[in-house]
Amino acid sequence: MTSRRLVSVVTVVLILAVLVPVGLSIWLAHRQAQETFIKELDAYATRVVMRTQKVVQQAKLALNEIDQFTGTPCSPAHLLAMRRVAFANHYVQEMIYVDHLQPVCSSLENHSREGMLPPPERITPDGYQAWLTTQNDIGLNRIMAALGSERHVVMIDPLSFIDVLPFGAWPIDVSLVSMTTNRLIASSGGFNPAIWQQARQSTLTRFQQKGILYDVRRFPELGLAIITAASLDPLGKNLHRQLLIWLPIGVLMSLLIAFFLLRMLRRLQSPHYRILDAINAREIEVYYQPIVALGSGKVVGAEALARWRQADGRFLTPDIFIPLAEQSGLMPQLTQLIIETVFSDLGPWLQRHPDQHVSINLDPGDLVSKRLPPLLSTLLTRWQLSASQIALEITERGFADPKVSSPAIAELRRAGHAIYIDDFGTGYSSLSYLQDLEVDILKIDKSFVDALEYKNVTPHIIEMAKALGLAMVAEGVETDGQLEWLRNHGVQFAQGWFYSKALPKEAFMAWAEENLRPNQATPDAS
């Protein structure tokens, strides 16, 4: 994956890194608030069920205790025993002695005035009879829960089933509904009968309707449904409290992740990765500036110049991105790309014109590279070209260590490549190198060509090159006066805008074909 794609990926991840932790913290806050809310409602419903079980269990114990009485039914001793049992079991409101479902006496009345009890609505698994009835000995018109053995019945106020205080921070209501008659038996608050209809038609134990959360528990032993309900309004306040906890954590995580991703993003957008991407994507193009023989005006070759096209269509010139490639350690890859591009661009044209050559600039590090000679040999063989058609240009910096550079240059010359000294005179030790190095051509830097009229350095450079038997190429020739002066002083070759600027491959080959004939050198119309 290229760093450009990595930048896109990291950018997307950066956006997600900012949004996801914050969104996750909000989700966690909502989930925590909801879980706390549901947990409290569930805990309250569980306590109501436990209270119901406790009341029923007490009623059974009371029945078992009174059934131990063996005296005369409804005698003073019997009445006292029933009163004692009812008093000792505070959930029992009344204890009645029955004879074949006919109340005879009770803990409240010596002689019961109530009519016969109906058949029990259900029989519990352990054999007790159960009713929901309005019958009592004190004339109250309210539904009571009745649990009976063969001879006794205890009356229980259903409100004792739901007499449980909520421990939470918001009110919770509870209702008892008969699963047999669908009647409301008791409620600690308002109750909507439609809720029970919805609950009994589904198997849901928890559902939400109109901003209220309901929890449904069934108590088959007495045929009761226990419905707890709580408004969701307090959930918002709890959510706010949870957000105060989770949101700062999410923001902190976002900032930390964003910090590390931004560092990665800056790294991926560094010159190193940008140039590496350009090399891998072969975005570095090669333009060709013609080299012309001053004596005949005939093109003899071209210098390969790298250009880096930017997204807006502009080109970066080598003096901008070559130093970046050197600092990033990418010059070997860049040099290889340029060499391969030269062969693919001009290979067929050089085959047709064996007297033409292309000069390629080398970095000082390329001289010590073991990959350069075999790369050139392989490409020359593939394209069936002569080594003399590929010249190599080396700046003075390439000669900084003669012990290293001299053997490398000698090897390249033995292979048949001409060696140019590029930008001669712009360094500090050029003169001392010339007598020790085996090179073929000296390139006079444009700065000296521009100063022909008012400085005397260039004639000395020319005379020194002649004395050493070096051919010369003048760079940056732009006027007739410069051309005439150079020709008169014995400079053999020139390149510059007087002839042509650097051209893409198709334009260069068209220009060269037009100018291969002698005496056709004219200023570039462009």
Average of per-residue pLDDT across 15-20: 65
Contacts of 475 (CB under 8 A, 6+ apart): 443, 444, 445, 446, 449, 494, 495, 496
One domain, residues 128 and 219: yes
pLDDT score of 279 more than 90: no
pLDDT score of 66 more than 90: yes
Beta-sheet strands, E only, within 220-330: 224-231, 284-293, 299-309, 315-316
Residue 456 belongs to some domain of the structure: yes
One domain, residues 239 and 306: no
* Cβ atoms within 10 Å of 55's Cβ, excluding its own: 24
Residue 275 belongs to some domain of the structure: no
Residue 79 belongs to some domain of the structure: yes
Q: Cβ distance 204 to 252 under 8 Å? A: no
pLDDT given at position 496: 95
Structure tokens at 20: 């996801």
pLDDT digit string, tens, across residues 402-424: 777 888 888 999 999 999 988 77
Give, in degrees to the nearest 5, the angle at Cα 282 between 280 and 283. Answer: 115
Beta-sheet strands, E only, within 384-426: 390-395, 419-424
One domain, residues 295 and 261: no
| Count of structural domains, the chain | 2
One domain, residues 233 and 375: no
One domain, residues 79 and 173: yes
Last residue of a domain, one of 269, 304, 334: 269
Structure tokens at 123: 């029989």
Q: Cβ distance 450 to 474 under 8 Å? A: no
pLDDT digit string, tens, across residues 443-472: 998 888 888 766 678 888 888 889 888 999
pLDDT score of 16 more than 70: no
By CB atoms closer than 10 A (0-12, 13-18, 19+), residue 476 is middle
CA-nearest of 215, 210, 218 to 166 is 215
Total-model pTM: 0.55
One domain, residues 412 and 337: yes
Residue 507 belongs to some domain of the structure: yes
Q: Cβ distance 188 to 173 under 8 Å? A: yes
pLDDT given at position 10: 54
Last residue of a domain, one of 269, 298, 313: 269
Residue 522 belongs to some domain of the structure: no
Average of per-residue pLDDT across 338-352: 96
Distance (Å, rounded) from C-alpha 191 to C-alpha 216? 13
One domain, residues 226 and 303: no
pLDDT given at position 526: 39
129-133, 334-338, 437-441, 514-518 — which is least confidently predicted?
514-518
One domain, residues 374 and 327: yes
Q: What is the CA 147 to chain-centroid distance, rounded?
A: 65
One domain, residues 307 and 249: no
One domain, residues 119 and 242: yes
47-61, 65-79, 342-356, 426-440 — which is least confidently predicted?
426-440
Average of per-residue pLDDT across 235-255: 64
pLDDT given at position 79: 95
CATH (domain of 509): 3.20.20.450
Range of the domain at 341: 290-515
pLDDT score of 199 more than 60: yes
Residue 264 belongs to some domain of the structure: yes
Last residue of a domain, one of 269, 303, 336: 269
Contacts 24+ apart (CB under 8 A), 102-105: 103/135, 103/137, 103/153, 104/73, 104/74, 105/73, 105/74, 105/78, 105/79
100-109, 295-304, 510-519 — which is least confidently predicted?
510-519
Residue 524 belongs to some domain of the structure: no
One domain, residues 240 and 304: no
One domain, residues 296 and 215: no
pLDDT score of 91 more than 70: yes
* Cβ atoms within 10 Å of 119's Cβ, excluding its own: 8
Residue 394: strand, helix, or coil:
strand
Residue 417 belongs to some domain of the structure: yes
Residue 370 binned pLDDT confidence (cut-offs 50, 70, 90): confident
